[in-house]
Structure 1
Amino acid sequence: MSTRTTTAPPAAVKTVAGATGPAGAASPAAAGPPARRGRMFLLALAGLLALAALALTHVSQGTAAVDLHTLWQLATGSSSDRTGHEQTAAVVLDSRLPRLAAGLLVGCALGAAGAALQSVSRNMLASPDTLAVNAGAYLAVVTVAAFGISLPALPAGATAFLGGLLAAAVVLGLSRAGAGPIRLVLAGSALTLALSGLSGMLLLLRSQQTTGLFAWGNGSLAQIGMQSIDRLTPLALVAFTGLMLLGRRLDILALGDDGAAVVGVSPRLTRSIAVILAVLLAAVSVAVAGPVGFVGLCAPAAVRLLSTWIPGLVRHRAFIPASALAGVLVVLGADVLLRAVFGAQAGAEVPTGIVTTCFGALVLIVLAYRSRDMGTDSGSTAFARLRSRRAFVVTLVATAVGLLGAVVVATLFGDATLLLGDVGNWLAGRSGQFVSYVLDTRVPRVAAALLAGAALAVAGAVVQAVSRNPLAEPGVLGVVSGAGVGAVTVLTLVPLASFWLIGGSALAGAATAAALVFGLAARRGLEQNRLVLIGMGVHAGAGAFVSLLIVLTDPYNETKALAWLGGSTYGRTFPELIPVLVALVVALPVLAVMRRELDLIGLDNETPALLGVRLGPTRLGLLSLAVVLTAGAVAAVGVIGFVGLVAPHAARALVGRRHTRVLPVSALLGALLVVVSDTVGRTVIAPAQIPVGLLTAVIGAPYFIWLLWRSRREG
């Protein structure tokens, strides 16, 4: 997975080109040509037989009984019941065959696209999902639909292509700026969160125009007829053929830029063409079925595992079609499994992409766990800039004044504008009925945003110190999503659940996610980028599980769960803020006492041990405090991301790395960010509202990408 280029003479290129893996790794010792051809033939035969079995099973599943005998009668026209024959033909031709064709097209397109992107980036974690291609394509389609524009298949595919290409250009542009392979995936994942936030905004603000796009946004194979497939399949065939023609050049490119240039292969031109073709394949998939998650990651990974048995698979003219076949098997297998587990009716409603995302999240966690960490442990150097006491005092005062001003503005402005005198009368108990109603509902919202922002920021500062990773935060590490899973599960199963039960379930979900992420990463030393990637996998899996719950619930619970996942202060009351307030009251004094341990743990593994700090128990205790703070914040306002990344990092940039200064400034900055985001969300389009979590994602994700670019340059 290294991005270093190597120079090889032409003779060496001819020797090595056929034995180089898709991601630049050397293939195992090759068996004899007859053995290789025999194994390749057996693999192709097994894949085609598996595809045939899945296709027959897939067509026979549904709400109407269509067994294999009936399918045979339909194919041969030998049925004696003409009426039943016509009804069966209508079901198969209008619904099941289009769904099967969609699965074939989507699986083939995503598998080939993932193989090309992994080869171009020399990164086995690259895919249309992790490089934000699917998210960009989906946002483009949602944007067009939000303005009431209905596009035919080809214009819709072109729109998705432009959105995916722009997203890929941003992520791969970051790679040219010097980012390593794993950081490339981090940038793509962050951009995906930002684009998903924008898509979620449009879905909520233009709900009538975007009806049905939520389920489609998780990847649904449901089709009405073959119109879209007929029009978009030729584009997919052109892109696939183009990748096959590039196969030899991609083999040579795997040697390194210098080695490719020696034999006349332009690395930049080859990469550009391959990326455009891969994005075109992903756009076709999105236009047909929405963003089906992680197929482009799983399919090439499975083929790469088989290449240890069949070395010939490392050549791209075999690797790309094998990945396409594997993609089809993954998509159809997920759809068959979905309807087998949930039944025909529910299986038709639940998007197939939810199953592939769950499986892909597991693959991402495994690959991240096994991969070599490509980043430096920059925790002790990224924040080494010292600041004077005067700078700290000025920053603290300025931030406190800014937060006070934001609270005043948030209290006065909204769907109804008030004056400071109205607030004074309300505090004295002399306000009128209208003012009392407005402030009784608005002030708890402002308090919820303030407390939740402070809690998430402090939790982020602790997580970054413990992991020695400036890119870590509770949201990126899956802890916030884990809390969301716990809360939404209770909302789904117990619609009349008390707030305390919801808060307890959020705490349990956050603790489970934290134990999973940090447990896996700790076995490999909490290495910088691996920790975040495992968290991204947990985040994706948790999001897919929540989407499954939402799709399967009734409309009332769906609306409530969506508001929770978007992060909203709507309807909050003062009693509901007790958990996050208690978490802050308990955690802040403990962290103040442990400020020295936080400073030492943020340096390295050796220094704390030399100074008598027990590294394991101290880390566990600090992470437990971070989980409690996160769960309290999620219980108060729902799922809000990136606050725990932006606020602590900005605080360190302003006041240095000593946590006696970082913690209070982080808390103030986090509160300021959430209060401002909440105020904008409920005033800019009043009386309609934008969930605060979507705004913080849109603000925080670009900052995260900029942090990746800057820290890589400094490294």
Structure 2
Amino acid sequence: MSARTTPAPPAPTHAATPEAGPSGGPPSAVTGRPARRGRTLLLALAALLALAALAVVHVGQGTASVDLHTLWQLATGAVADRTADEQSAAVILDSRLPRLAAGLLVGCALGAAGAALQSVSRNMLASPDTLAVNAGAYLAVVAVAAFGVTLPALPAGGTAFLGGLLAAGVVLGLSRAGAGPIRLVLAGSALTLALTGLSGMLLLLRTQQTTGLFAWGNGSLAQIGMQSIDRLAPVALLALAGLLLLGRRLDILALGDDGAAVVGVSPRLTRSVAVILAVVLAAVAVTVAGPIGFVGLCAPAVVRLLSTWAPVLVRHRWFIPASALAGVIVVLGADVALRAVFGAQAGAEVPTGIVTTCFGALVLVVLAYRSRDMGATGGSTAFARLRSRRAFVLTLVVAAVGLLGAVVAGTLLGDARLLFGDVANWLTGRSGSFVTYVLDTRVPRVAAALTAGAALAVAGAVVQAVSRNPLAEPGVLGVVSGAGAGAVTVLTVVPLASFWLIGGSALVGAAAAATLVFGLAARRGLEQNRLVLIGIGVSAGGGAFVSLLIVLTDPYNATKALVWLSGSTYGRTFPELVPVVGALVLALPALAVLRRELDLVGLDGDTPRLLGVRLGATRLILLSIAVVLTGGAVAAVGVIGFVGLVAPHAARALVGRRHVRVIPVSALLGALLVVVSDTVGRTVIAPAQIPVGLVTAVIGAPYFIWLLWRSRAPPSRRRTALSQATRLGKPVAAEPERRS
């Protein structure tokens, strides 16, 4: 949503309160009444008491028993005469107090950073997570560790700051001229997936140098001593003080850029300084505890809910510290709940960020469900034109030839390079043992990549049509994450489970995620933005659930987890491709029969009904087909993202929007993308390998970001043309379409 066209304040509820100032800005003098101040003081007292109680419980939890008497002795200095248990004292001083201090520092930093980013972007969904700040900072830290460089706390924090600042700049640059706040979340999610893919590559390629970073990558408060906290806490306090000093300017900025400029406040300078300070806070949090998810989203949301009862909280000099305090309560509450539910030993192994991510995903789903539609997403122009039959045939032929070339290259290339004669001898049964072994393992991998890519691409085309959202795909809508959660659950409970059981669980997980996402979104008309936001929340929750299972059951085998979550064709055999091949065999003829309904459903909600299409039943059938395709693909190759977005978009741009053409071209392009990605992953660092899902993420995320950037250009050019025509007194003709 453009910063110059959206006068919304950081707290959407302000306008509904009589205490709010003009245009939902700072509250008027009525907020200074004793009753209002009494409510604020009561709220602050309750928050401090809750924080104190959490701190006491937090310090008392752990594998070693520590009672209140020992805590009191430590607090009063009685340990100095050795009357208290020295072992318990050492545990508290060396482990639990640093963990508590880390929770205080991280919660305060992330809560304040989220409040500042939401105010600057005027988007209640902005946070260090949705702006990819945490992902950028984490990648910077992992990149340094992957090359064997050990940095002290301050240089490590500086490295994280540079990575987070670069990521925030990209996301804010894409969303500034967008048509709605959904653009920011989509751009942040895409960039987060790309940066996470790069981090995953480093974790897999440099396993020894990055030992322990998988769990830390989910956010862990475990500390050894206070060294990092002592060095980084002053930095966080300075950044927090800077945000408080900017409080009045942020209040004025909430009234709009023009109003702020009139009173001498520079909108651009204020935003830049606030973003830099927020990224500093996020970098401090990542350096101390890793990327703890969604605290920067949840804490300001809680404060906004409380602002309806204590309106003074809408002012930034209260809003920012209140969000910081709420962030501390969220982090410590999650850590206490983690150890209370899973036990002291599991609490030491399970990252706190998994719990906060689950809670944050729930908050995101609730916010998306309760909100009104927040504007168009800026759909691609690929939905707007029809192409000639000649263009369709040419595209189909070129895509088929390209796929054939990719299959040949994938068969010949790898850690052992073969020739055409080797393949011919293998087909006729005359090859040697080495060539036979290589091709017996390589050809099923190529077939798995081909079929899974085609299935994900077709599923993406169906999901985009049904949701009428050109930015939707099975991964964004949580279906891929649900399938992965189902498969990992079975692998965890039944380690020796058959492939058919794993495939069936993936299908069940995909169906459950799709039912949840579309069920929640459909109650309010399947609005585009709400659908995507709920899907992102469900996807984040599914990813956190998978990480929790892995850490609880096999915490020392992070490589196995990363390979599965990143998608891989390693070790596939032809029988294991039966589910995805069966899904394609069933889905493609069904979609060919339903091609007219698919075109109509993708238009609007009224046209299908007028033409006799039963919209609800048709949507259910089409979504069921997409779920079956996604479940089969995940069962075959694991979790792969962006294929269902990139391939249908490219297909529509090349052949138009008629699905009788889009479906086959999407299938070919999706297969081509995954086969090429798999070949690159197997050859670029042979004999080591990069999972195919990481390669597709690195390829697909830039395409997605380019799509967001491109989608904002045509409207501006159109407005320029309209204004020029108006000045010249000329009518503006509609752009003609080329029809088949």
C-alpha deviation, 1:38, in angstroms: 0.5
C-alpha deviation, 1:505, in angstroms: 0.4
The answer to whether the 8 Å contact 1:116/1:274 transfers is yes
Distance 2:190 2:378 in 1: 20
The answer to whether the 8 Å contact 1:644/1:670 transfers is yes
Are the structure 2 counterparts of residues 28 and 360 from structure 1 closer, same or farther at C-alpha, using a change threshold of 3 Å? farther
Aligned to 1:12: none
Aligned to 1:712: 712
C-alpha deviation, 1:20, in angstroms: 5.3
Aligned to 2:158: 158
Are the structure 2 counterparts of residues 383 and 113 from structure 1 closer, same or farther at C-alpha, using a change threshold of 3 Å? same
Aligned to 1:553: 553
Tell me whether 313-322 or 603-612 shows the greater mean CA deviation. Answer: 603-612
Distance 1:26 1:374 in 2: 23
The answer to whether the 8 Å contact 1:112/1:296 transfers is yes
C-alpha deviation, 1:564, in angstroms: 1.4
Q: Secondary structure at the match of 1:224?
A: coil
Aligned to 1:253: 253
What whole-Å deviation, never above 9, does each CA across 1:170-199 have from its counterpart, x for those lacking one? 011112344532211111111111101110
Q: Secondary structure at the match of 2:85?
A: helix
Distance 1:497 1:264 in 2: 67
C-alpha deviation, 1:40, in angstroms: 0.8
Are the structure 2 counterparts of residues 355 and 105 from structure 1 closer, same or farther at C-alpha, using a change threshold of 3 Å? same
Report 1:350-361 matches (<5 A).
350-361=350-361
- Unmatched tracts of structure 1, length 5 or more: 9-14
The answer to whether the 8 Å contact 2:200/2:562 transfers is no
Aligned to 2:206: 206
Aligned to 1:11: none
State the TM-score, normalizing by the size of structure 2. Answer: 0.93
The answer to whether the 8 Å contact 1:678/1:692 transfers is yes
**Superposition RMSD on alpha carbons, in Å?**
2.2
1:599 equivalenced with 2:589 (yes/no): no
Tell me whether 263-272 or 361-370 shows the greater mean CA deviation. Answer: 361-370
What whole-Å deviation, never above 9, does each CA across 1:448-478 have from its counterpart, x for those lacking one? 0000000000000000010111000001111
Distance 1:420 1:567 in 2: 29
Q: Secondary structure at the match of 1:603?
A: coil
C-alpha deviation, 1:31, in angstroms: 5.4
Q: Which amino acid aligns with 1:502?
A: I
Distance 1:522 1:693 in 2: 30
1:105 equivalenced with 2:102 (yes/no): no
The answer to whether the 8 Å contact 1:681/1:689 transfers is yes
The answer to whether the 8 Å contact 2:3/2:177 transfers is no
C-alpha deviation, 1:561, in angstroms: 3.4
1:121 equivalenced with 2:124 (yes/no): no
Are the structure 2 counterparts of residues 538 and 433 from structure 1 closer, same or farther at C-alpha, using a change threshold of 3 Å? same
C-alpha deviation, 1:379, in angstroms: 6.5
Aligned to 2:617: 617
Aligned to 1:583: 583
Aligned to 1:54: 54
Aligned to 2:422: 422
Are the structure 2 counterparts of residues 74 and 456 from structure 1 closer, same or farther at C-alpha, using a change threshold of 3 Å? same
The answer to whether the 8 Å contact 2:108/2:327 transfers is yes
The answer to whether the 8 Å contact 2:17/2:311 transfers is no
Are the structure 2 counterparts of residues 636 and 557 from structure 1 closer, same or farther at C-alpha, using a change threshold of 3 Å? farther
Distance 2:613 2:466 in 1: 13
C-alpha deviation, 1:371, in angstroms: 2.1
Q: Which amino acid aligns with 2:479?
A: V
Are the structure 2 counterparts of residues 264 and 52 from structure 1 closer, same or farther at C-alpha, using a change threshold of 3 Å? same
Are the structure 2 counterparts of residues 146 and 556 from structure 1 closer, same or farther at C-alpha, using a change threshold of 3 Å? closer
Report 1:640-655 matches (<5 A).
640-655=640-655
Aligned to 1:297: 297
Give the 4+ runs in structure 1 shifted more than 6 A. 15-18, 25-29, 377-381
Q: Secondary structure at the match of 1:180?
A: coil
1:633 equivalenced with 2:637 (yes/no): no
Aligned to 1:132: 132
Aligned to 1:492: 492
Are the structure 2 counterparts of residues 617 and 704 from structure 1 closer, same or farther at C-alpha, using a change threshold of 3 Å? same
Aligned to 2:265: 265
Tell me whether 290-299 or 82-91 shows the greater mean CA deviation. Answer: 82-91
Are the structure 2 counterparts of residues 146 and 18 from structure 1 closer, same or farther at C-alpha, using a change threshold of 3 Å? farther
Aligned to 1:343: 343
1:475 equivalenced with 2:475 (yes/no): yes
Q: Secondary structure at the match of 1:173?
A: helix
C-alpha deviation, 1:525, in angstroms: 1.2
C-alpha deviation, 1:610, in angstroms: 1.0
C-alpha deviation, 1:157, in angstroms: 0.3
Distance 1:195 1:80 in 2: 49
C-alpha deviation, 1:704, in angstroms: 1.3
Distance 2:294 2:635 in 1: 30
What whole-Å deviation, never above 9, does each CA across 1:292-324 have from its counterpart, x for those lacking one? 100000000000000000000000000000000
Report 1:189-588 matches (<5 A).
189-376=189-376, 382-554=382-554, 558-588=558-588
Q: Secondary structure at the match of 1:222?
A: coil
Are the structure 2 counterparts of residues 525 and 17 from structure 1 closer, same or farther at C-alpha, using a change threshold of 3 Å? closer
Q: Secondary structure at the match of 1:356?
A: helix
Distance 2:487 2:267 in 1: 49
The answer to whether the 8 Å contact 2:466/2:622 transfers is yes
C-alpha deviation, 1:18, in angstroms: 12
The answer to whether the 8 Å contact 1:487/1:506 transfers is yes
Are the structure 2 counterparts of residues 413 and 603 from structure 1 closer, same or farther at C-alpha, using a change threshold of 3 Å? same
What whole-Å deviation, never above 9, does each CA across 1:244-294 have from its counterpart, x for those lacking one? 000000000000101111111000000000000000000000000000100
The answer to whether the 8 Å contact 1:457/1:648 transfers is yes
The answer to whether the 8 Å contact 1:160/1:287 transfers is yes
Q: Which amino acid aligns with 1:413?
A: L
Distance 1:635 1:498 in 2: 11
Distance 1:380 1:703 in 2: 12
Distance 2:52 2:707 in 1: 48
What whole-Å deviation, never above 9, does each CA across 1:493-549 have from its counterpart, x for those lacking one? 110000000000000000000001111111121111221111110111111111111
Q: Secondary structure at the match of 2:712?
A: helix
Are the structure 2 counterparts of residues 323 and 80 from structure 1 closer, same or farther at C-alpha, using a change threshold of 3 Å? closer
Q: Which amino acid aligns with 2:596?
A: R
Aligned to 2:724: none
Q: Secondary structure at the match of 1:91?
A: helix
The answer to whether the 8 Å contact 2:568/2:637 transfers is yes
Distance 1:134 1:22 in 2: 35
Q: Which amino acid aligns with 1:330?
A: V
Distance 1:49 1:18 in 2: 30
Tell me whether 183-192 or 125-134 shows the greater mean CA deviation. Answer: 183-192
Q: Which amino acid aligns with 2:303?
A: V
Distance 2:158 2:18 in 1: 36
Q: Secondary structure at the match of 1:211?
A: coil
Q: Secondary structure at the match of 2:374?
A: coil
Are the structure 2 counterparts of residues 154 and 18 from structure 1 closer, same or farther at C-alpha, using a change threshold of 3 Å? farther
The answer to whether the 8 Å contact 1:22/1:314 transfers is no
The answer to whether the 8 Å contact 2:114/2:300 transfers is yes
Q: Secondary structure at the match of 1:398?
A: helix
C-alpha deviation, 1:73, in angstroms: 1.9
The answer to whether the 8 Å contact 2:485/2:542 transfers is yes
The answer to whether the 8 Å contact 2:190/2:705 transfers is yes
C-alpha deviation, 1:372, in angstroms: 2.5
The answer to whether the 8 Å contact 2:7/2:254 transfers is no
Q: Which amino acid aligns with 2:308?
A: T
The answer to whether the 8 Å contact 2:70/2:84 transfers is no
Q: Secondary structure at the match of 2:52?
A: helix
C-alpha deviation, 1:84, in angstroms: 5.1
Q: Which amino acid aligns with 1:449?
A: A
The count of corresponding residues between Structure 1 and Structure 2 is 709
Distance 1:547 1:464 in 2: 28
The answer to whether the 8 Å contact 2:116/2:275 transfers is yes
The answer to whether the 8 Å contact 1:17/1:255 transfers is no
Q: Which amino acid aligns with 1:149?
A: V
